[in-house]
Structure 1
């Protein structure tokens, strides 16, 4: 008799996300996933038709998490909005790794997969537009340098998101340090 499924869809997606971060798209397969959840591999198919559908659903869920955090940011004070945005991205620091997988997912066979891919792409555009809008406004308000293109400032901003927290401090403290470095640099005086 085979193993009985004792995992939920959320647990399945959690394990999928961890394995995608660790092994990437190419290294991820359903056998590996079944080794990390307590249940039979065949049970995965009760939730998702195939690997592609599962991965697309996992990436969609990651996009939903960041969109929920971003949509509640108050943009009244542009610098507070940038700080809150950095914190949201630091909370979801593995997002770039997860999002990079979506370009490899083949969605031709599944309308669910196609819908998830479309959702992720639209969400990515919304995130980019929101941050570009805030940074442009910060430049207009002369709170960011105007001699540097917004895209360059944005690139450096995202580089900070990927900096590992080697100090092991809280996300609040890490965000504060990185934001200060991003905004003021590291020079004296």
Structure 2
């Protein structure tokens, strides 16, 4: 009778995310992962064949969650939709840091990792199109300043969720404060 599995796939991917964010892709390895999970290292291989597959699956899960929430946003009012999207991105503030290492994943021996990275790229494009659409509509509605080029508005917006929450506010409150600062500016 085999040894009982001590961790779930969700726990495996949660720990992978934590460790990749702490150590980067290059510093992440299966031995490190197994040291942070209760159970045999061989259990990892019941889920994934190698480091590339685990990290790609972790990245896919994160962006799929963002995509799911972003797809549910009501876009009838572009500014309200942008605020809601910002809250989604603030919830997953490490998304860009995590995906920043996607190009390091060698997919030549891992069709599963290649499929996950393809999904990630498609999801990224979908999210980018959604934001562009909302920004364009907000500018057309004159809800956003038209004297500021759209790429600048979008760039600053994207940098909002990388702003450290030094006040330790609840995530939703922090996101709303960031949005209000962005939409109203800091000028009195």
> What does residue 7 of structure 1 align with?
7
Paired residues, what number? 187
> What does residue 50 of structure 1 align with?
50
Report the Cα distance in structure 1 between the residues aligned to 2:61 and 2:168, rounded to whole angstroms: 26
CA offsets, 1:10-65, max 9 Å, x none? 11000000001111101100000000000121221111111001111110000111
> What does residue 123 of structure 1 align with?
123
> What does residue 169 of structure 2 align with?
169
> What does residue 180 of structure 1 align with?
180
Report the Cα distance in structure 1 between the residues aligned to 2:28 and 2:176, rounded to whole angstroms: 35
Name the SS for the 2:16 alignment partner. Answer: helix
> What does residue 76 of structure 1 align with?
76
Report the Cα distance in structure 2 between the residues aligned to 1:58 and 1:171, rounded to whole angstroms: 22
Name the SS for the 1:67 alignment partner. Answer: helix
> What does residue 93 of structure 2 align with?
93
CA offsets, 1:51-106, max 9 Å, x none? 00111111000011100110000000111001101000001111111111211111
Instruction: Give runs of ≥4 in structure 1 deviating > 4 Å.
Output: none
Shift of 1:5: 3.5
CA offsets, 1:104-150, max 9 Å, x none? 11111121111101000000111111101100110011011112221
Gap regions ≥5 residues in structure 2: none
Report if the CA contact (8 A) 1:24-1:101 is conserved. yes
After TM superposition, the structure 1 stretch with the greater mean CA deviation from structure 2, 52-61 or 94-103, is 94-103
Q: Normalising by structure 1, what TM-score? A: 0.95
Q: Normalising by structure 2, what TM-score? A: 0.96
Name the SS for the 1:54 alignment partner. Answer: helix
RMSD, aligned α-carbons: 1.3
Report if the CA contact (8 A) 1:4-1:40 is conserved. no
